[in-house]
Amino acid sequence: MKSFWYILSLCMFIVLGQWGLGCNKKDDTNGDLQPINFPVPEGWPAPVYDFSANPLTKEGVALGKKLFFDGRLSRDGNFPCVSCHQPFAAFATYEHDLSHGIDDQFTTRNAPALFNLAWHSNFHLDGGITHLDLQPLAPITASNEMGETIENVLQKLNADPEYQRDFARVFGTPQITTANMTKALSQYMLMLISANSKYDRVMKGKASFDVNEEAGYAIFKEKKCNTCHVEPLFTNLEYEYTGLPLNPTFNDFGRMNITGRKEDSLKFKVPSLRNVALTFPYMHDGRFWNLEDVYDHYNQTIPLSPVERSLLTEFLKTLTDEKLMNDPELTE
Amino acid sequence: MYLSVVRFENRYSLLTLLFLVAAILTGCQKKLELDPRGKAGVEIRFVPEMMGAPVELGQEYTLPSGERFTPQVFKFYVGSIGLSQSQNPGEDPDQPGEPNHPGSGPVTGEPYHLIDISRPAEQVIRTQIQEGEYLYLEFLLGVDSARNVSGVQSGALDPLKGMFWTWNSGYIFAKLEGTSPQSTQPGNKVEYHIGGFRHPYNAAKTIRLPLSYLQPLRVSAGQTITMEIRVSLENWFRGAYDLRIADNAVCMTPGELAWSISQNFGDLFNITNLTIEE
């Protein structure tokens, strides 16, 4: 009788073992993850990022944020992503035409603000990067930015048991690789959504412009600023020539550097006007310190009277999104 | 749970242990998806040569053009390996430069391999094909455009392998570095990083090598075809495009020059030895 029970329990055990000890560890660890349904603001186009290849979770976003703020992604430990993409400047570099990289070097372009990235299919002002997941590899390896190699970054992260635990939890393996590191960073960056400005509340009927803002919005449309700065993203995501002469210090031909086509010479990606009050200086190399300089530049093609300029500026200020700058889940 | 079962009865402990081992072994064994029926093995060994002799990194050679060149790095991607039954070169008309496999196509293993001359152990690729009759070996020298734009890849295509342009997303399909007195670059450097998937300068090249000049090669299930492919490095510099180090010692971006150099790649490879083993 004893052996009957023994055999029975052994059989039970083996069955349980086969069921529980499967090779797919992913399922075991993913159980306690909190999935995030990417929140597409009402009336916006569909995002282009493929979330099925990188399902968002609360834990994944938190891990991405940790990486974004971690200096170990740079060679000397002093240049985390956040050093140039500062939350209080809508994730651009505040008050800097060019940003500071490793060994007292300058970057060659104005750091773009980071938000609404799920709607972008190419990155950098010349669109050279074809996927959000690939984007972090450029600043990490650039000799005048973070100055590190991918191999070294992975080595440093893999040596940290806390990161191993985090990655095991989010991706089902403690092994930190190029792919899962960049996916974690993407999860965080995707959640930088700017859709809660006064403008957005007005559009939803939950607030109203004052007379100046209203008049500024009318000028924005009447002067066809929205040809390139298309609502609701306030960019057409295209590459345009703004009439700026070549800066001989950098010899930066923009989109042509990538496509090799003459017609793309000096074309740069249209930046969003969202949070424009915080992202000065302006243009791809930060050569204009304030909006007045920008209006002066466009005066040839889009002349504005002093009053029109002031009103337009009042409207542009309604595009500032305090929530993006102050959400503790994303900024601290 | 294990412990309680082990303690269950002492005299059964040996039996229990055996069962445990059996349970763990069977529980975590990966299922081999290869159906051995109908499959033949393929083993490809790349043999890099320069002017008829195995390439020695760091040794100076005189190229057919008379220019001198000391190779230091030579790496390239090989993908989508397959044997073809068709007489027609396989190229997808919609995507120039992309291979179109009328034959068996790749069957197992990683779709891409990085061949690095400094790592002889990695110059061998093993894969499997369906038994049948074949005329050509085909592979892509480079990386297909889909994998250039669909995020971060792993394995041989992991960007940390140093064959990826981070600022202009895309793979370096083939890399040849060294020095030459004819180079006008600092330190007499010679650096050719050939890649680019954008039309019209898609530098990925379908390589098509005849297996037999007389009749189709018959491969039966269970057999293994072993091939040695000679890589004639001097042909990097000649063929469709006459590459002179004095004129172009450096090519680091996708575009016309990279594409022009890639037009020479068809003549880099030759099957020099082919055997079929039971």
Q: What ipTM does the predicted assembly reach?
A: 0.81
Within chain B, what is the greatest distance between any pair of CA atoms?
A: 83
Three-class DSSP category at A244: coil
In angstroms, rounded to a whole number, what is the distance separating the alpha carbons of residues B99 and B91?
A: 5
The answer, yes or no, to whether residue B35 has pLDDT greater than 60, is no
What chain B residue is nearest to A148 in terms of C-alpha separation? B160
The answer, yes or no, to whether residue A1 has pLDDT greater than 70, is no
The confidence score (pLDDT) of residue A153 equals 98
Do the beta carbons of residue B252 and residue B166 sit within 8 Å?
no
Tokens of B132: 């049948």
In angstroms, rounded to a whole number, what is the distance separating the alpha carbons of residues A177 and A167?
A: 10
Q: Residue window 94-153, chain A: list those with CB within 8 Å of chain B.
A: 124, 128-134, 137-138, 140-142, 149-151
The answer, yes or no, to whether residue B189 has pLDDT greater than 70, is yes
What chain B residue is nearest to A154 in terms of C-alpha separation? B160
The answer, yes or no, to whether residue A44 has pLDDT greater than 70, is yes
pLDDT band at B98 (very low <50, low <70, confident <90, very high): very low
The confidence score (pLDDT) of residue B22 equals 53
Contact across the interface for B152 and A257, Cβ inside 8 Å: no
DSSP classification of residue B156? G
Mean pLDDT of chain A: 92
Contact across the interface for B158 and A13, Cβ inside 8 Å: no
pLDDT band at B27 (very low <50, low <70, confident <90, very high): very low
Point out which residues pair with B134 in neighbouring strands. B217
Q: For chain B, how big is the Rg over CA atoms in Å?
A: 23
The answer, yes or no, to whether residue A101 has pLDDT greater than 50, is yes
The answer, yes or no, to whether residue B28 has pLDDT greater than 60, is no
**What contacts B231, CB < 8 A, 6 or more positions away?**
B46, B47, B48, B49, B268, B269
Point out which residues pair with B128 in neighbouring strands. B41
* Alpha helices (H) in chain B, listed in sequence order: 2-8, 13-27, 145-149, 256-262
List the single best residue of B14, B17, B19, B160 to mutate versus A (max A Cβ within 10 A).
B160
Chain A CB contacts of B30 below 8 Å: 23
A301 close contact with B: CB closer than 8 A: no
Mean pLDDT (whole number) for B15-42: 58
- Pick from A2, A134, A140: which is nearest to B169 by CB? A134
- Pick from A2, A131, A260: which is nearest to B151 by CB? A131
The answer, yes or no, to whether residue A306 has pLDDT greater than 60, is yes
- Pick from B1, B12, B201: which is nearest to A260 by CB? B201
List the single best residue of B169, B199, B252 to mutate versus A (max A Cβ within 10 A).
B169
Three-class DSSP category at A19: helix
pLDDT band at B1 (very low <50, low <70, confident <90, very high): very low
Higher pLDDT among residues B57 and B212, named by residue: B57
What chain A residue is nearest to B146 in terms of C-alpha separation? A130
The confidence score (pLDDT) of residue B94 equals 40
- pLDDT, tens digit, 9 for 90 and up, residues A172-183: 999 999 999 999
Contact across the interface for B159 and A134, Cβ inside 8 Å: yes
Contact across the interface for A10 and B16, Cβ inside 8 Å: yes
Q: How far is CA B31 from the centre of its chain?
A: 26
CA distance B48 to chain A (A): 27
The answer, yes or no, to whether residue B8 has pLDDT greater than 80, is no
pLDDT band at A3 (very low <50, low <70, confident <90, very high): low
| A-to-B residue pairs, Cβ atoms closer than 8 angstroms | 97
Phi, psi (deg, nearest 5) at residue B100: -130, 115
Contact across the interface for A6 and B8, Cβ inside 8 Å: yes
Kindly report which listed range (A21-30, B86-95, B163-172) carries the lowest average pLDDT score.
A21-30
Query: CA angle, B264 as apex, B263 and B270 as ends, to 5°?
Result: 125
The confidence score (pLDDT) of residue B3 equals 46
B27 close contact with A: CB closer than 8 A: yes
Per-residue CA distances from B84 to A90, A100, A284, B99, B224 (Å): 55, 54, 50, 11, 16
List the single best residue of B168, B172, B198 to mutate versus A (max A Cβ within 10 A).
B168
Kindly tell me the number of DSSP H helices and DSSP E strands found in chain B: 4, 16
With CA atoms as reference, report the closest residue to A293 among A278, A307, A280, A274.
A280
The confidence score (pLDDT) of residue B10 equals 54
The confidence score (pLDDT) of residue A332 equals 82
**What contacts B106, CB < 8 A, 6 or more positions away?**
B79, B80, B81, B82, B127
The answer, yes or no, to whether residue B87 has pLDDT greater than 70, is no
Record the pTM: 0.83
B1 close contact with A: CB closer than 8 A: yes
The answer, yes or no, to whether residue A276 has pLDDT greater than 90, is yes
Do the beta carbons of residue A319 and residue A113 sit within 8 Å?
no
What chain B residue is nearest to A254 in terms of C-alpha separation? B168
